[in-house]
A = this chain, B = another copy of it.
Amino acid sequence: MKTADAPVEFYFDFSSPYGYLASELIDDLAAAHGRSVAWRPILLGAVFKATGSQPLVHQPMKGAYALRDFARSARFHGLPFAMPAVFPVATQAAARACYWLQGEDDAAARRLAHALYRAYFIGGRNIGETDTVLAVGEELGVAPARLEAALAEPAVKERLRAETESAIARGVFGSPYFVVDGEPFFGVDRLPQLEKWLKRGGF
Contact = CB atoms under 8 A, between A and B. Distances in A.
Interface of A: 50-53, 59-62, 64-65, 68-69, 72-73, 75-76, 168, 171-173, 184, 186-187, 189-190, 192-193, 196, 203
B65 A184 contact: yes
Contact of A173 (B62, B73, B168, B203): B62
B171 A65 contact: yes
Nearest to A52: B60
Contact of A76 (B76, B173, B196): B196
Contacts of A184: 65, 68
Contact of A193 (B62, B72, B186, B187): B72
A186 B76 contact: no
Given A65-B171, A184-B65, A193 B51 contact: no
A171 B50 contact: no
23 contacts: A50-B61, A51-B59, A51-B60, A51-B62, A52-B59, A53-B59, A60-B173, A61-B168, A61-B172, A61-B173, A62-B173, A64-B171, A65-B171, A65-B173, A65-B184, A69-B190, A72-B203, A76-B192, A76-B193, A76-B196, A76-B203, A189-B189, A192-B192
Nearest to A189: B189
A190 B190 CA distance: 10
A186 B60 contact: no
Contact of A73 (B53, B60, B69, B193): B193
Contacts of A186: 65, 69
Nearest to A187: B189
Contacts of A69: 186, 190
10 shortest interchain CB distances as A-B pairs: A189-B189, A61-B173, A51-B60, A51-B61, A76-B193, A62-B173, A61-B171, A75-B203, A52-B60, A65-B184
Contacts of A192: 76, 192
Contacts of A196: 76
